[in-house]
Amino acid sequence: MTDAAEGEIGAGSRSSSAAVARLTARLAAARRARIIAVANQKGGVGKTTTAVNLATALAAAGRRVLVIDIDPQGNASTGLGIGREARNTGSYDVLTGESELPAATLETAVPRLSLVPATQDLAGAELEMSQREHREFLLSRAIRSRLAAYEDVLIDCPPSLNLLTINALVAADRVLVPLQCEFYALEGLAQLMRTIERVQHGLNPRLELQGVVLTMYDRRNNLCDLVAADVREHFGKKVYDTMIPRNVRISEAPSHGMPVLIYDHRCVGSQAYVQLAAEMLRERRRARA
């Protein structure tokens, strides 16, 4: 229980049903999983790599984590060792209401890390969803009350601001934006920020920017430092101190169906994701204090 919550009881409000209801709601919110959409409509910037490896680092830190793969490419599912033949039910079935979340959830080889995989049907989901009522809320409604088993939920989004990504933003509490350290890093970001604002103002007022994480950073490349400085000037404290370096072990790991933390936990790429998870958890503890 938080100090503030104890104080509320200590202040003699135990008998007040309104105070009890408030307290219960606060405790439930503190216990509820935080849902983070990993999004950037730009392709190949490290969304999936970040979702898979941040999830693994959080699970390694003792947290119960769920990854939801809503990208028809299914790279997060592959990267977590769940091959196509093992995917019978997945995020498509959850979105369309054909399956409850637990029935579509698989355990991965990483302790405490579960996955809702992407199945082939997901490729046609956009069109199908677009004909439904409340089409932006399908994911939110399907998962929000069913996450008691988890502390962190990461949704790996496709490289598009389509209905699948909108569903992730509506279901999420936060958006984590991976940005590749390259010349065009900021291009297209204004459109992403406008989409986030639109969702905040209409569909999901709870949504906040969790942060920006710089990926594929190469310290031998001067341009990377210029881009990093530019992004920090633009987003200030929202940019994580941890930068994910360009690291060959990170790019090799998915072909072995493993997060890089399992493939080679000592490499600089793994260590960066451990640091990113630690930074995120520190920030959460500070926010709660």
Ligand X SMILES: Nc1ncnc2c1ncn2[C@@H]1O[C@H](COP(=O)(O)OP(=O)(O)OP(=O)(O)O)[C@@H](O)[C@H]1O
Cα–Cα distances (Å) from 193 to 35, 168, 199, 288, in that order, read 18, 15, 10, 26
Binding track over 181-220 against ligand X, x by CB under 6 A: ----------------------------------xx----
Nearest to 47 by CA among 71, 65, 64: 71
Which CB atom, from 23 or from 231, has the smaller least distance to ligand X? 231
Task: Determine if 119 is a binding residue for ligand X (CB under 6 A).
Answer: no
The reply to whether 45 sits near ligand X by the rule CB under 6 A is yes
Q: How far is the C-alpha of 91 from the C-alpha of 102, rounded, in Å?
A: 11
Within 10 Å of residue 218's Cβ, how many Cβ atoms? 15
**DSSP of 37-51, one letter per residue?**
EE--SSTTSSHHHHH
Please choose, out of 114-122, 146-154, 164-172, 243-251, the segment that lies near ligand X by the rule CB under 6 A: 243-251
Number of neighbours of residue 131 by Cβ within 10 angstroms:
7
**Residue 80 phi, psi (nearest 5):** -100, 15
Min separation Cβ 76 and ligand X, Å = 8
One residue of 36, 37, 46, 277 binding ligand X per CB under 6 A? 46
With binding defined as CB under 6 A, does residue 81 bind ligand X? Answer: no
CA 126, CA 275: separation in Å to the nearest integer? 36
Query: Which of Mg ion, ligand X, none has residue 53 at its interface (CB below 5 to 8 Å by kind)?
Result: none
Helices (H), the chain: 3-8, 17-31, 47-60, 75-79, 91-96, 125-130, 138-143, 163-171, 189-198, 222-235, 248-252, 260-263, 268-288
Report the site for Mg ion in 44-103 (rule: CB under 5 A): 47-48, 75
Query: Least distance to ligand X from the beta carbon of 170, Å?
Result: 20
Q: How far is the CB of 77 from Mg ion (least distance, A)?
A: 11
Taking a C-beta distance cutoff of 8 angstroms, is the pair 273, 264 a contact?
no
**244 counts as binding ligand X under rule CB under 6 A:** yes
Q: How far is the CB of 145 from ligand X (least distance, A)?
A: 28
69 or 136, CB closer to ligand X? 69
E-assigned strands of 11-64? 34-38
What string marks each residue from 133 to 172 as x (binds ligand X by CB under 6 A) or -?
--------------------------x-------------
Is 72 among the residues that bind ligand X (CB under 6 A)?
A: no
Other Cβ atoms within 10 Å of 229 Cβ, number: 10
The partner in contact with residue 269, picked from Mg ion, ligand X, none with C-beta cut-offs of 5 to 8 angstroms by kind, is ligand X
Burial (CB count within 10 angstroms: exposed 0-12, middle 13-18, buried 19+), residue 150: buried
Binds 64, which of ligand X, Mg ion, none (CB < 5 to 8 A, cut-off by type)? none
**Shortest spacing between CB 202 and Mg ion, in angstroms:** 26
Q: Distance (Å, rounded) from C-alpha 207 to C-alpha 190? A: 17
Question: Which listed option, ligand X, Mg ion, none, makes contact with residue 49 (CB within 5 to 8 Å by class)?
Answer: ligand X
Task: Return residues touching Mg ion (CB under 5 A).
Answer: 47-48, 75
Task: Return residues touching ligand X (CB under 6 A).
Answer: 43-49, 71, 73, 75, 159, 215-216, 244, 246-247, 250-251, 254, 269
